[in-house]
Structure 1
Amino acid sequence: MPAYHSQFNDKTEYRTIGNMVILPIKTKDRGPAPPAPPNEDDIIDEALDLFRANCFFRNFEIKGNADRVLIYLILFISDCLNQLVKNPTRKEASKLLTTRALDSFALPGDPTFPLNALYAAPSDRSDATLLRQYLTQARQELANRLIDRVYVVDNKPSKWWMCFQKRKFMNKSL
């Protein structure tokens, strides 16, 4: 059975940096992402919906530049779930994940970026800055929405999300 791919792979109207596409996001955080229509799913919704199914795959065939964004966001979800291992309260988890989203991180082309074989480096410094801003905005929004999904019922993380924290999508981590 093949992995699930992004529905945004056929969209060509969005800007591409390296080989990652700047997709629209439904967010209130400032950043370069174009606003997404409020009644449609965006790449963050797609990453959260496909995370549990895709995290079982060790191989992932990239069918478009939106798949590269999806891979990055799935790896970030795994990283966030690893931050929640000690079962913090919802408020503590929100602080942890917001801090993690705003931490400095490696971009494609940097020696410490784990997936340099799959990603092209930004062509110049301004593109690298724009990509960093976009990924920071996406990470912030993903952390906010992940908290809402993991802490549904009470002040403890859902075991149905936390059971996936040990899984490594493509045997990689950020």
Structure 2
Amino acid sequence: MPAYHSSFNQTDAKVISIPILPIKTKARQFAPNQLEEGDDIIDEALGLFRANTFFRNFDIKGGADKLLIYLTLYIQECLNKLSKLPNAIEGNKILQTHAVQNFPLPGDATFPLNSMFEKPLTRQDAEFLKGYLTQLRQELGQRLIERIYEDDKPSKWWMCFSKRKFMGMAGVGTLQ
């Protein structure tokens, strides 16, 4: 049985290593706002996370699949951080801080997915990509907290995936 792929693979979008897909957000920063109703790439990543973590291989069928892989690995990192925290307030603080920490970009030596991603061509593209990924990480952290914490306790059905490794990787990495 193959892994679940992104429904946004056929979407026309600006590409800087990954497609710059619209997301549902109130913040006007780097990501375009999604105008129509329905799921965005973050909702899709959260919805497919648990099913996709059972696969060691992932056949990339388009640019949105690369972003889905990145977000899946980031969710895995977040779950690791949340596994040590008792409530949603502390979890939200930790994830928002983690989202803006310095992290590697495609082309950096410590970026774990360099074989799948192209290095941004210009410094401006790299800065835009960093801003876009930061915005995705912040938005994903907020939505993850909403899904995981029930009655201010983490859901065991999410936390049981904190030790799983998608594609044999532990996360997308953070520069220290």
Structure 1-normalised TM-score?
0.95
Once the two structures are superposed, what CA deviation does each residue of 1:19-40 show, in whole Å capped at 9, x if it has no partner?
Answer: x000000012342111112521
Structure 1 unaligned regions, length at least 5: none
Give the distance between the partners of 1:159 and 1:41, measured in 2 at CA. 24
Give the distance between the partners of 2:152 and 2:73, measured in 1 at CA. 25
Give the distance between the partners of 1:149 and 1:104, measured in 2 at CA. 26
Percent identity between matched residues is 60
Task: Specify the code of the residue in structure 2 equivalent to 1:160.
Answer: W
The equivalent residue for 1:128 is 126
Once the two structures are superposed, what CA deviation does each residue of 1:29-85 show, in whole Å capped at 9, x if it has no partner?
Answer: 342111112521100000000000001111000000010111100000000000011
Equivalent residue for 1:148, pick from 143, 146, 149: 146
Partner of 1:86: helix, strand, or coil?
coil
Give the 5 Å matches for 1:7-156: 7-12=7-12, 14-18=13-17, 20-37=18-35, 39-151=37-149, 153-156=150-153
Partner of 2:23: helix, strand, or coil?
coil
Give the distance between the partners of 1:15 and 1:42, measured in 2 at CA. 16
The equivalent residue for 1:164 is 161
Contact 1:30/1:137, CA 8 A, preserved across alignment: no
The number of equivalent residue pairs is 171
The equivalent residue for 2:3 is 3
Task: Specify the code of the residue in structure 1 equivalent to 2:11.
Answer: K
Contact 1:32/1:133, CA 8 A, preserved across alignment: yes
Partner of 1:57: helix, strand, or coil?
coil
Give the distance between the partners of 2:98 and 2:151, measured in 1 at CA. 23
Partner of 1:171: helix, strand, or coil?
coil
Structure 2-normalised TM-score?
0.94
Deviation, structure 1 residue 89: 1.0
Deviation, structure 1 residue 119: 0.8
CA-based RMSD: 0.9
Once the two structures are superposed, what CA deviation does each residue of 1:96-154 show, in whole Å capped at 9, x if it has no partner?
Answer: 11101111100000000011111111011000001001000000000000000001x21
Deviation, structure 1 residue 87: 3.3
Structure 2 unaligned regions, length at least 5: none
Instruction: Report runs of 4+ in structure 1 exceeding 4 Å deviation.
Output: none
